[in-house]
Amino acid sequence: MTANVLFAGHPDAWPAYEPLLKAELARLAVDADLCNEFPPEDVDYIVYAPSGPVSDFTPFTRLKAVLSLWAGVEKIVPVVPAELPLTRMVDSGLERGMTEWVVGHTLRYHLGMDAHILGQNGHWEPKAPPLAKDRRVTVLGLGALGTASAQALAALGFQVSGWSRTQKEISGVICHSGADGLKAALAQAEIVILLLPDTPATENTLNADTLALLPAGAKIINPGRGPLIDDAALLAALDSGQIGHATLDVFRVEPLPPEHPYWAHPNVTVTPHIASETRESTAAEVIAENIRRAEAGEPLLHLVDRSLGY
Ligand code: NDP
């Protein structure tokens, strides 16, 4: 029987996704109809984003799976019924974008670009930056995006450490896990990059205690999620000089309210949640492949573990 696939991403995304998803489903010989409107009781799969039209899943009585267009699923896990398979987005285009953003901001800190671009003021101080091999960088979260970023930094020669829930082995990266592993990962990190998901277990991973573990003047780059950082503790650490500078792409409230102290802080760079995004052409391949698998009775890729929340 033909499977009905409802596109319930942001309505503006439909014109781009429609031809790509149709082409991919046809290429994989999946017997499926794709539309952005179906009677709910006829829908087999929902391609989903919280910015789309669906917030109540109860009318979708024959739903087989929900396929998220977003990598971060903290807003999706609570609304999709627990018995339904839920997949998250792992997309090579998203991965590429994040890697480029992370490398760019790491190089800004490593090379001390601000001092030369913004702050010369007629001052001639010929001091070359160190080589990457003498710079220690730590990536918190070694999943799809953290691993790709850590590997790219290692390829540039940085001393890269990483931390994850379960122990990893990644060539060129010193991998830590568990509570003691976090201490070890932070103890020597001159630049810390957060690529953890937003879950109850990761909230305030950087707090007053863990910020104090970093070497004085360490830099923080957060393209993960706002709740990973205790904002009051970070502001205090920035004011004391324990943290030298922070580049923040994600926040507890987005858009970041105009009165938030991060905007005006001289040692904070705010970027508007643009580190990376799902890229339609590569994402369509992932979605179509998962529909093919579901229809063939094969295991789905990138399933969210509902008990862990990511
Ligand atoms: P993954 O699920 O692939 O990776 C998550 C990583 O975090 C894994 O290594 C996981 O460990 C680790 N982790 C989870 N919980 C814990 C914990 N309690 N303690 C230690 N480590 C933990 O996610 P992605 O790499 O695909 O994405 C990461 C995040 O990036 C997303 O959740 C999203 O919030 C954010 N994002 C931001 C974007 C932006 O533009 N700013 C764009 C896209 C995503 P383990 O490997 O052991 O499971």
Q: For the chain, what are the domain ranges?
A: 3-91+278-296, 94-270
| CA-closest candidate to residue 204, choices 268, 139, 140 | 140
Give me ligand 1 centre to Cα 108, in Å. Answer: 23
CA angle (133 as vertex; 127, 135 as ends), nearest 5: 65
Q: How far is the CA of 225 from the centre of ligand 1 (A)?
A: 9
Q: Over 90: is that where the pLDDT of 115 sits?
A: no
Q: Which atom of ligand 1 is nearest to the CA of 147?
A: 25
- Give residue 116's pLDDT: 84
pLDDT at 199 over 90: yes
Best of 164, 270, 308 to mutate for ligand 1, by most ligand atoms within 8 A of CB? 164
In ligand 1, the atom with minimum distance to the C-alpha of 274 is 40
Rounded-to-integer distance, Cα 48 and Cα 67, Å: 6
Q: What is the pLDDT of residue 211?
A: 98
Task: Kindly report the pTM of this predicted structure.
Answer: 0.97
Nearest to 5 by CA among 41, 44, 42, 31: 44
Ligand 1 pocket test, candidate residues 74, 165, 222, 282, most atoms within 8 A of CB:
165
Residue with tokens 């970041």: 256
Which residue lies with its CA nearest to atom 23 of ligand 1? 143
pLDDT value, residue 78: 96
Q: Residue 256 has which token pair?
A: 């970041």
pLDDT at residue 268 tops 90: yes
Residue 120 — pLDDT band, cuts 50, 70, 90?
confident
Cα-to-centroid distance, 250 and ligand 1 (Å): 14
With a 6 Å cutoff on the Cβ, whether 275 touches ligand 1 is yes
Give the ligand 1 atom nearest the CA of 73: 32
Class of domain 94-270: alpha beta
Q: Is the CB of 88 under 6 A from ligand 1?
A: no
Q: At 91, phi and psi to the nearest 5?
A: -135, 130
Q: Specify the DSSP class assigned to residue 142.
A: -
Query: Closest ligand 1 atom, CA of 167?
Result: 47
Task: Of 248, 202, 247, give the one whose Cα is nearest residue 227.
Answer: 202
Helix or strand or coil: residue 194?
strand
Rounded CA-CA distance 14/166 in Å is 37
Percent of all residues in the chain with a pLDDT value above 70, rounded to a whole number: 100
Residue with the nearest Cα to atom 31 of ligand 1? 72
Compute the CA torsion angle 212, 193, 310, 252 (nearest 10 deg). Answer: 70
The band of 204, judged by pLDDT with boundaries at 50, 70 and 90, is very high
How far apart are alpha carbons 141 and 59 in whole angstroms? 36
Q: Is 112 in the pocket of ligand 1 (CB under 6 A)?
A: no
Mean pLDDT along residues 173-179: 96
Residue 126, pLDDT score: 85
Q: Which residue has the tokens 């509570």?
A: 179
Distances (CA, A) of 204 to 129, 197, 233, 234: 32, 12, 9, 10
**Of 175, 138, 140, 135, which is closest to residue 156 (Cα–Cα)?**
135
Q: Which residues make beta-bridge pairs with 35?
A: 6
Pick from 157, 158, 212, 223: nearest CA to 183:
212
Looking at CATH, the fold of the domain delimited by 3-91+278-296 is given as: Rossmann fold (3.40.50)
Contact 168, 151 (CB under 8 A): no
The helix or strand, by DSSP H or E, that contains position 150, with its residue range, turns out to be: helix 144-155
Which runs of consecutive H residues, i.e. helices, occur in 167-221?
178-187, 208-211
Among the listed residues 249, 246, 205, 247, the one whose alpha carbon sits nearest the alpha carbon of residue 229 = 205
CATH fold match for the domains 3-91+278-296 and 94-270: yes
Question: What's the CA-to-centroid distance between 169 and ligand 1, angstroms?
Answer: 16
Phi, psi of 269 (to 5 degrees): -110, 125
What is the rounded CA–CA span in Å between residue 46 and residue 295? 14
Band of residue 119 on the pLDDT scale cut at 50, 70, 90: confident
Which residue owns the Cα nearest ligand 1 atom 17? 165
> What is residue 59's predicted lDDT score, i.e. its pLDDT?
97
DSSP codes, 20-43: HHHHHHHHTT--EEEES---GGG-
